[in-house]
Structure 1
Amino acid sequence: MLILYNFEKIRNLIFATHHKSIKKMKLQKIKIALLLLFSFAVKAQNMADYTDNWEGKIENSKIFSLKVAIENAGLENAVFKIYSSKESLDFPFNGKNSNFIKIPFGDNSFFEGVLSKNQNEINGFIKSGLLFYHVKLLKSKNTSFTGFWNILMVDELKSNDFYLSVENGSNDNFEAYPILGDNRFTGTWCYNFKKENDFISFSDFKTGLQFKGKLESDNIQLEIYLENLLITEIALKKSTIDWKIGGFKSDNKRSILELSQLENLISKDSLPNTHSVLISRNGKLIYENYFDGYTENVPHDLRSASKSISSAIVGIAEDKALFKSVEQSIFDFLPINYQVLKDSLKSKIDIQSLLTMSSGLDAIDYGSNANLKSPAVEDNYQKSKDWIATILNTPMINNPNRTANYGSANPYLLGVAMDSVISEPLELFIDGNLFQKLAISNYVMFTDFKGKPYFGGGMYLNSRDMLKFGELYLNNGRWKSNRILSKKWIMDSFKNYRVLENTKDKNGYGYLWWHNTYHVNGRGVESIEARGAGGQYIFVIPSLKSVIVITSGNYRNGKTQQPEIIFENYILPYLKN
C-alpha cells in the first residue's frame, strides 16, 4: 500500500508540471518524492531480520559428487572438464608431449596429475580451498579419462537436509554457517561475508565452495558454486523445529570375532561417537564394523594421526638419499632469508628432534595438559603470515634432543624440509611413493596457506586404508611383498626416545608415533600408535601381530582417548585368548 501511495502522489505531482505556473518548490517536491521512491525500491534488508536458523533440501544425494574428465589427452586440443548436474566448466590446454598435467581453473584452484606408465590412468589432485583432493581418472576411451571428485568427502549424502545459521546480523553485517544433515562431512570454515542490497555472499576456505543468496521477505534463495560452476540451488525457509543431524545406522559388519559387548555399548551410546572398529591379525581382517552411517568408502578426519604418515614421508625421502641423515640441521633445508634466525642453539635443531617433538622450541600444545599455561607458538603460528619465521623466532626452552613436548609446529617444519629436497610437487611424491603403492586413492590432504601439504595433521583416509598403513609398519616396511620403507626406518621410528612431558600419561614417543602399555590378565602389552584428536587411532601391536583401527567423533566432549578404553577392555582380551 505504501508503494502505491507513493506512485499516486508522484503521478499527481508530475501531471501538475504541465502548468507553466508551477513553482520551483513543487519541482523540488517531485525530485524528493522520486528519490524517496528509488531509495525504497533498492533499500537493503537489515540482516538483523535474517538472524535465525534456516533450512531447505538438497535436490539429490549425489549433487556434490562432481564428474571430472580429460578429453583429447596427449593432444594439443586437450580439455579438462568439471561437471555438475547443472552445467560444466571447460578448460582447454595443450596436452601434447607431457605426462605431467597442470590446469588452473580458478585463482587458487587447479588440477595436477601424472599419466601412469601403462597410460591407463591419471593420478593427481584437485586443489580447492585448503585441500588437496586425490582424484584417479581412468581411461574410458582412447584419449579420454574420467573420474569423480567428492567435494564433501562422501560419495552420497545420507540426508538431503541443508541448514544455514545466520548469526550476528546488523544492517549489512552478518555471518553465515552451512550445516548438513549428513554430519559425516566435517563442516565448512566460512569467511568473506558480504552484502549488497538484498544479495549476500560468503565462501568456505576449506573446500573452496562459494555461497550466494538472495534475501526475500520470508525466505533465502541460496546458490552454491565452485568458481563459476553452479552446483545446486536451495530454497531456505526459517526453521520451526530443531534440526535433525546425523543419527544414521550402519549395516555392514564383517567379522570373524564376536564382540557383542562392545557393539551393545556403542549402540547404547555408552561409548559415544564411535565411527569404526577394524582389527587385523597376521595380515587378515578379522573384524570390521561401522557406526553412525560410516562405511568403508568414507574418508575420516584423522587429525594428528596423520602425523605418523608424515613420518613415513620423511623415511621414504631418507631411504632415497634425498637428504644425508636425520642429524642434519633444519637450517640446511631453509631458504637464505631464514638463516638470520639461526643461532648456536637453534642450529642444533635437526630432523630427528622434529620427529621426536624435542626441538627445544616453545612449540608446545599446551591444550593437552590443563596444568601448563603459556602463550605458546602452537597457538599462534597458524594465525601468522609467515609460519616458519613465527616458529623459529620462538624462544628455546630446552636444548634440542633432550626434552619432548607434543605440538604441531615440529612436524610442520618437517614438511618444509621435505619440500625443499623433493624435486616434484610434494603431494605427487607422497602419492607416488606411498599411497599408490598401498593401493590408496580415496583420500584428502590439508595444505598450509602456501598450498603445500601440511605435515602437522589433517589427512582424511578411510578406515581400511588406515589399517593398510598400520600393517606397513607391522611388516617392517613391506606391503604385499613390496618394499616401501626400509626396515631400519621402521625400527628407528618405533624406538621410545623420550617421554612427552606435556601429556597427562607421560607417554613415550618415537618418530611421530606414540607409545603406550595396556594390561590384560595382569600382563602388559606394548602398543605403538598413531593418534588424532577426537579419537582417531591406529594401534600397532607387534607382539600380537595385530593392527587395530578406531575412528571417532569425540572432538569436544573430553573423550578423545576413548579408543584406548575400547582396545584394552573389549578387544585385547580376545586377541590374547
Structure 2
Amino acid sequence: MRTIINKIKTLTFSILFIVALLGCNSKNKDKESIKDAQRVASQNVLSSVIDSIHSEINDGDYGLIDRFMVIQNDELLADFKYKQDYETIVQKYDTTNHQYNFNSTDWHPYYKQTELHTLQSVTKSITSILLGITLDLNEDYNVDNKVMPLLTGYDTYFLDKRKQNISIKDLLTMRSGIQWNEETDHNDTTNDCFRLESSDNWVEYVLSKPMDTIPGTRFVYNGGGTVLLGKIIRTITGKRIDDWAEEKLFEPLGITDYYWKETPDGEIDTEGGLYLKAEDLAKIGSLFLNKGKWNGKQIVSESWVTTSTSPLLKNVKPHWKSVTGYGYQWWIPEYTDNDKTNIYSANGYGGQYLMIAPKHNLIIVFNGWNINNDPEQSTYRALQDRIIPALKNK
C-alpha cells in the first residue's frame, strides 16, 4: 500500500513539474515574442525615418552625400550610395592636383577613383584608438606622461616651461595650451591647419607655435596636437603609425584596403589623412559598440573606449545647437546630467560622420563632400534630431 502511495506521489510530482516547466516555457516564449515584436516595431519606425532621409538626400537637401549606412543590432538596415559628378562640380574651383587641395578630384572625396573615401578629422578618432592600443601594450606609459621627453630632437622648442608641462591627455582633449587658430575657413591662409598642411615639417610647425595658456585649462580645437600624438606613437612603438595601424587595428578587423597621406617629412597625416571604405569605417563603430572587442578578441581596452567616448569636457562648442562634450578625440553630442553618453561620434570636414548610439545598438555612417556650399540640412543632426526621437516615440 505504501509503495502504491509513493508511486502516486512521485507521479503527481512529475506531472506538476512538467506543467510548471511548460508554464515557464510558455512565459519565456511570450517574453521572446514580445521582444521580437518590439524589435520589429523599432525597425519599422527606423526604416520609415531612414526612407525619409534617403528621399531628402536624393532631393539635394543634404548637399553632396556619397554614402549613408545604418546598422542596428549587427544588422545592416540601410546602405545607400549616391553618385555625384565632382569633375563637373569643381570646375569653377582651383583643381591643382595636390593632396591638400580639397577640390582636386584625384584626392577628394575619393582617392584616385577608388571606393576609399577621405575621412578628414575622423582620422583623429582613429589615431586616438591607436594611441589607446599603444598605452595598453606599454605599461611604462600613460596619458599623464609629459610629451617633451617623447618628442626627441625638438628640445629647442620646449624653452617655455608651460610647453614642458603638456601631457598626452592635454593633447587628447585639445587642451595643449598651444596658440592655435583652426576656426576660420580651411582655405584661409591664417588658419593654422592650412599653414600646417603647407609646411615641410609638421611636428616642427606645431612645436614652433607659442603658448597662450596653461596646459589642461582650455579647449581649443587643434589638429596639430593630433600630429604630435602620431609622433608619440612612433616614439613608443618604434613604428610609423600606418604600420602600427595595419598590425594592431586594421588586420584584426579585416581592413585590407586603405590609404593614408604621407607628410613631406615622411610622417603620416594623423589629423586628417586617412581614407577608408564606408564598410570598414562601420567596423570601427562596431568595435567601439562592443567595448573594444572584435570576434571575441580585445583589440583596445574597454576602459579606453569608455573614457574616449565620455564627456570629459562639457559644452566645448557653446555656439553649436546642442551641448556637446569631448573625450579623447571623440565628440559627445548628447549626454545626461550624470555624464552618461547617449551618442558619440567621430566627425570630419566635408561631412564625414561615424555616429554611435549605444543604448539602441545603432551605428550611422555618412560620407559627403560639402566644402564649397552649406546644405539646407545637416547629416550631423540626423541621428540626434530624426532617428533617436523616432525610436523613443515608437
How does the TM-score come out when normalised to structure 2? Answer: 0.73
Matched, 1:362 2:153: no
Say if 2:62 and 2:376, in contact at 8 Å, map to a contact too: no
Q: Matched residues in 1 for 2:115 and 2:83: separation?
A: 12
Q: What's the counterpart of residue 535 of structure 1?
A: 351
CA drift at 1:267: 1.5
Q: What's the counterpart of residue 59 of structure 2?
A: 268
Q: What's the counterpart of residue 330 of structure 1?
A: 147
| Structure 1 vs Structure 2 CA RMSD | 3.0
Say how many residue pairs are matched.
Answer: 315
The residue matched to 1:558 in structure 2 has which SS? coil
Q: What's the counterpart of residue 571 of structure 1?
A: 387
CA drift at 1:390: 2.5
Unaligned stretches of 5+ residues in structure 2: 1-45, 85-108
Q: Matched residues in 2 for 1:429 and 1:552: separation?
A: 28
CA drift at 1:467: 0.8
Q: What's the counterpart of residue 373 of structure 2?
A: 557
Say if 1:404 and 1:499, in contact at 8 Å, map to a contact too: no
Say if 2:119 and 2:274, in contact at 8 Å, map to a contact too: yes
Q: What's the counterpart of residue 142 of structure 1?
A: none
CA drift at 1:336: 3.4
The residue matched to 1:363 in structure 2 has which SS? coil
CA drift at 1:568: 3.6
Unaligned stretches of 5+ residues in structure 1: 1-255
CA drift at 1:399: 1.1
Out of 416, 420, 425, the position equivalent to 2:231 is: 416
Say if 1:362 and 1:395, in contact at 8 Å, map to a contact too: yes
CA drift at 1:473: 0.9
Q: What's the counterpart of residue 306 of structure 2?
A: 491
Say if 2:157 and 2:208, in contact at 8 Å, map to a contact too: no
Deviations 1:12-47 (A, max 9, x none): xxxxxxxxxxxxxxxxxxxxxxxxxxxxxxxxxxxx
Say if 2:182 and 2:221, in contact at 8 Å, map to a contact too: yes
CA drift at 1:366: 2.2
Q: What is the identity percentage for the equivalent residue pairs of Structure 1 and Structure 2?
A: 25
Cα separation, partners in 2 of 1:499 and 1:291, compared to 1, 3 Å = same
Say if 1:535 and 1:561, in contact at 8 Å, map to a contact too: no
Deviations 1:516-555 (A, max 9, x none): 1399xxxx98311100011110111112121111111211
Correspondence list, 1:231-310, <5 A: 257-258=47-48, 259-292=50-83, 298-310=115-127
Matched, 1:462 2:253: no
Say if 1:362 and 1:376, in contact at 8 Å, map to a contact too: no
Q: Matched residues in 1 for 2:330 and 2:357: separation?
A: 13
Cα separation, partners in 2 of 1:358 and 1:491, compared to 1, 3 Å = same
Correspondence list, 1:69-108, <5 A: none
Say if 1:331 and 1:339, in contact at 8 Å, map to a contact too: no
Say if 2:343 and 2:356, in contact at 8 Å, map to a contact too: yes
Q: What's the counterpart of residue 248 of structure 2?
A: 433
Q: Which amino acid aligns with 1:428?
A: D
The residue matched to 1:515 in structure 2 has which SS? strand
Say if 2:310 and 2:341, in contact at 8 Å, map to a contact too: no
Q: What's the counterpart of residue 205 of structure 2?
A: 390
Deviations 1:444-467 (A, max 9, x none): 111221222211112111111111
Q: Which has the larger radius of gyration?
A: 1
Out of 499, 512, 523, the position equivalent to 2:329 is: 512
Deviations 1:156-187 (A, max 9, x none): xxxxxxxxxxxxxxxxxxxxxxxxxxxxxxxx
Q: Matched residues in 1 for 2:196 and 2:280: separation?
A: 31
Larger RCO: Structure 1 or Structure 2 (Cα < 8 Å, ≥ 6 residues apart)? 2
Say if 1:540 and 1:548, in contact at 8 Å, map to a contact too: yes
Say if 2:172 and 2:329, in contact at 8 Å, map to a contact too: yes
Deviations 1:255-311 (A, max 9, x none): x9343322221222122212111111122222221112699x812111111110000
Say if 2:66 and 2:367, in contact at 8 Å, map to a contact too: yes
Say if 1:273 and 1:552, in contact at 8 Å, map to a contact too: yes
Out of 123, 126, 132, the position equivalent to 1:315 is: 132
The residue matched to 1:314 in structure 2 has which SS? helix
Q: Which amino acid aligns with 1:310?
A: T
Q: Which amino acid aligns with 1:410?
A: G
CA drift at 1:564: 2.1
The residue matched to 2:215 in structure 1 has which SS? coil
Q: Which amino acid aligns with 1:542?
A: P
Say if 2:124 and 2:270, in contact at 8 Å, map to a contact too: yes
Matched, 1:546 2:362: yes
